[in-house]
Chains A and B, each alone.
Chain A
Amino acid sequence: MDSRYAAKLVSRLGEDGWHYGGLPGLQWEAENARSADRSVMIQVVEELRNDTRFEEFYRACINCGNCTSMCPPFRLVDFEPRIVVQKVMHAKDEPELLYQMMDQYIWSCFQCYSCWEVCPAHNNPGGLVAILKEIAVRHGLPSTKKALEPYSKILYKIMTTGTQITPDMHTTVALFRDWGPHKAELAKDIRVERAAVPVESMAGVMDKSWKVDKETMNELMTIQKESGVVDSVRHTLKDVADMVDDTAKEAGVE
């Protein structure tokens, strides 16, 4: 066996001796993952396996495909809950395989849990994806930033008031233009419409979904600070985290 030829063969393989990629969509995901920081990859796998929910959500996978058969995004894009569980299964020995999903793959999931319902082994692929999303946010992955940036306004609103998609978001037509010209009509008179709602906790409230007490909002912000949500968000959407901190400080939250 010619040693130079052998060396050439082996040089095609990755650091851990693997070379693959032929399924559609996998090529660039694999490339991206290959060029990532290996220590981050390994950390991601460890955080996943150490999460309290992992034991509940991850079981043996026999590739039956039941989950994918019921999965909504699979109808439109190349997302398969079966692949999620398979990659989670192999992640311990091949962290790169799991890391490939962290870029765009996991963000396709609708979190509908149809997969959990039909799995014969009681796996929860959607649940595993939810954990991976949290890990992605904590690590501030660039793709996560891209995925969540359009979500910033809503995120800030939820974290500070505990409500979202509030009437004041309808005053400008742009945000929900694709919900119909009818919506634009509604937006014109929205203050009056809201003032006329016959529920006292909601009437006239524009900046929240209902009249949330100031103390309630403070409690929420305290909870989020203490439980590390703000710190988690800071890694991905620093501006939102800073704004939440400012709002909390103004409200007198310790």
Chain B
Amino acid sequence: MKEQGRPVLVIGGGPAGLQAAKDIAEFGEQVVLVERRKELGGAPIRWSYHTLAPDFRPTEEVMGPLVEFCEKNDNVTVMKGCVVEECNGRPGEFRVRIKDESAKEFTEMVVSSIIVATGFEHFDARVDPRYGYGRLPNVIGINELEVMLKQRRVVGHDGRPPKRVAFIFCVGSRDRSTNPWCCTVCCGVSIKQGIEIKQLLPDTQVYMIYMDIRTMGLWEKMYWDSMEKYGINFIRGRVGEVYFTGERLLVKGEDTLVRGPFEVLFDMVVLAVGIEPGPGTKQAANVLKLSLNEYGFLAPRLPNVHFDSGKEGIFLAGACVAPMSVEEALSEGSAAAMQAVKFRRNIVKKVPV
């Protein structure tokens, strides 16, 4: 490839990666977008997110145009089902080897800069035996609930709609036994889902069992609306155990504010399974020799400046750096795109302080 035509490599086709690719393409530059899975869109598409907080916007409205742009635009080359296996060379002239997993083929190319946007995985709650995920019927994660909400059909394993649902916040987060960090978005997403369940099943009792409510910024409205408009109940306390009686789920916790220690039967328990670094992130870090922090997320040079990986020509964006919402990931993608283009056009040689 000619020096002029060297594309930017974007690893990861989720919100951050797609936005980055779009911005770079609109600048008139070439982009190669490599996505591990067979479809673009990242977590929102993979898990069929029904709507996005805070205003319940259908996911397609946000993700649809992005995916369409990247698939149709001439400046963007999409490689689905592919993984970056090797990276050599130097900034401005990275020589990468991309493997097509199913066809077992390799592509080699030279790229000017790289944006890592490898996203996250939902915590696998089987790791935490407390809640019986994977063992007990009717214990599901918020990711699985989104699929049900999209199909407008929320039912238990027996096919019947639940009469009483509990959301357990902070599963796989804020816990030294699993992941110590806070996933920032689960509070808002759970409350959003609680509202959507109430819209589908107005007579179902919905309980949110939480430690803190972290509906940041303008997401706060959902919290107040959930109580005022939808009659959702909130119990402050963490759940110690979920037990199956043979018919229903017995949830044990402490209501630190009103009832004291409690045991109560639910028909369905939804776990707010958090954000954790996925295999794609680990793999990219290995290949590009990027450092990971103690939590396994990609470590930028300074924690306050996410796009700066500390390595010249390599930029970071999205949930592979820290848990965040879709709107934040989109902004980070744009930011990384800007850095990549600046680098590509030799405007700034060294990564800014």
Binding site for B on A (CB under 8 A): 1, 3, 6, 9-10, 12-13, 17-23, 26, 59-63, 82-83, 86-87, 89-90, 92-94, 97, 121
Contacts of B247 in A (CB 8 A): 6
Closest 5 A/B residue pairs (Cβ): A22-B260, A17-B265, A20-B262, A60-B227, A60-B224
* Cβ contact within 8 Å between B257 and A19: no
A17 vs chain B, min Cβ distance (A):
4
A63 to B235, alpha carbons, bound, how many Å? 10
A121 to B228, alpha carbons, bound, how many Å? 10
* Given A19-B264, A20-B260: A9 and B250 interface contact (C-beta under 8 Å): yes
Contacts of A6 in B (CB 8 A): 245-247
Contact of A90 among B226, B233, B243 (CB under 8 A): B233
Asked whether B181 is an interface residue with its Cβ less than 8 Å from the other chain, the reply is: no
* Given A60-B228, A63-B236, A89-B233: A13 and B261 interface contact (C-beta under 8 Å): no
A121 to B266, alpha carbons, bound, how many Å? 30
* Given A93-B205, A121-B224: A20 and B259 interface contact (C-beta under 8 Å): yes
Contact of B263 among A13, A59, A60, A93 (CB under 8 A): A13
* Cβ contact within 8 Å between B244 and A17: no
* Cβ contact within 8 Å between B262 and A10: no
* Cβ contact within 8 Å between B236 and A23: no
Contacts of A63 in B (CB 8 A): 234, 236, 257
* Cβ contact within 8 Å between A83 and B264: no
User: Digit string of B90-131 for contact with A (CB within 8 Å is 1, else 0)?
Assistant: 000000000000000000000000000000000000000000
* Cβ contact within 8 Å between A83 and B228: no
Contacts of B246 in A (CB 8 A): 1, 3, 6
Contacts of A26 in B (CB 8 A): 259-260
* Given A6-B245, A10-B245, A20-B260: A62 and B236 interface contact (C-beta under 8 Å): no
- The number of chain B residues touching the other chain, given as a range, is 20 to 34
Q: What is the chain B residue whose CB lies nearest that of A14? A: B264
Asked whether B69 is an interface residue with its Cβ less than 8 Å from the other chain, the reply is: no
A9 to B265, alpha carbons, bound, how many Å? 11
> Could you name 6 residue pairs across A and B whose Cβ atoms are closer than 8 Å?
A1-B245, A9-B245, A22-B260, A62-B224, A63-B236, A63-B257
* Given A19-B264, A60-B223, A62-B223: A86 and B245 interface contact (C-beta under 8 Å): no
B187 vs chain A, min Cβ distance (A):
12
* Cβ contact within 8 Å between B248 and A17: yes
Binding site for A on B (CB under 8 A): 164, 205, 213, 223-228, 231, 233-234, 236, 243-248, 250, 254-255, 257-266
Q: What is the chain B residue whose CB lies nearest that of A8? A: B245
* Cβ contact within 8 Å between A18 and B260: no
Contacts of A94 in B (CB 8 A): 233
A63 to B234, alpha carbons, bound, how many Å? 10
Contact of B262 among A18, A82, A86 (CB under 8 A): A18
* Cβ contact within 8 Å between B227 and A89: yes
Q: What is the chain B residue whose CB lies nearest that of A23? A: B260
Q: What is the chain B residue whose CB lies nearest that of A27? A: B260
Contact of A13 among B234, B257, B260, B264 (CB under 8 A): B264
* Cβ contact within 8 Å between A20 and B255: yes
A3 to B164, alpha carbons, bound, how many Å? 22
Contacts of A12 in B (CB 8 A): 263
Contacts of A59 in B (CB 8 A): 224, 227-228
Q: What is the chain B residue whose CB lies nearest that of A121? A: B224
* Cβ contact within 8 Å between B264 and A61: no
Contacts of A87 in B (CB 8 A): 258
Contacts of B258 in A (CB 8 A): 23, 83, 86-87, 90, 97
A20 to B258, alpha carbons, bound, how many Å? 10
A17 to B261, alpha carbons, bound, how many Å? 14
Contacts of A21 in B (CB 8 A): 259-261
A21 to B236, alpha carbons, bound, how many Å? 15
Contacts of B254 in A (CB 8 A): 22
Contacts of A3 in B (CB 8 A): 246
Contacts of A121 in B (CB 8 A): 224
A97 to B201, alpha carbons, bound, how many Å? 23
A30 vs chain B, min Cβ distance (A):
9
* Cβ contact within 8 Å between A19 and B244: no
Contacts of A10 in B (CB 8 A): 245, 250, 265
A92 to B229, alpha carbons, bound, how many Å? 13
* Cβ contact within 8 Å between B244 and A20: no
Q: What is the chain A residue whose CB lies nearest that of B255? A: A20
A207 to B266, alpha carbons, bound, how many Å? 61
Chain A CB within 10 A, most for which of B231, B234, B258, B265? B258
Q: What is the chain B residue whose CB lies nearest that of A2? A: B246
Q: What is the chain A residue whose CB lies nearest that of B244? A: A1
Contacts of A19 in B (CB 8 A): 262-264
Contacts of A9 in B (CB 8 A): 243, 245, 250
Chain B CB within 10 A, most for which of A12, A13, A18, A20? A20
